[in-house]
C-alpha cells in the first residue's frame, strides 16, 4: 500500500505517514513518519 501511494503521488514531501500493524494476540506496532 505504501509503494502504491508513492507511485500514485498521494504522498508528498513533508507529509506525515502513519503506519499500523496488528498480529495475533497482543502483538501490534505503529509508526509516525515525517516523509
Are the CB atoms for 16 and 33 separated by under 8 Å? yes
Domain layout of the chain by residue ranges: 2-34
Are the CB atoms for 18 and 35 separated by under 8 Å? no
pLDDT of residue 9: 96
pLDDT of residue 1: 87
pLDDT digits 0-9 by tens, 1-35: 899 999 999 999 999 999 999 999 899 999 999 99
pLDDT of residue 13: 95
pTM metric for this prediction? 0.67
pLDDT of residue 19: 95
For cell 506525515, the residue is 16
- DSSP 8-state class, residue 3: H
Amino acid at each position: 500500500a505504501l509503494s502504491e501511494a508513492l507511485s500514485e503521488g498521494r504522498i508528498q514531501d513533508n507529509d506525515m505517514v502513519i503506519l499500523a500493524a496488528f498480529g495475533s494476540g497482543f502483538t501490534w506496532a505503529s509508526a509516525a513518519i515525517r516523509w
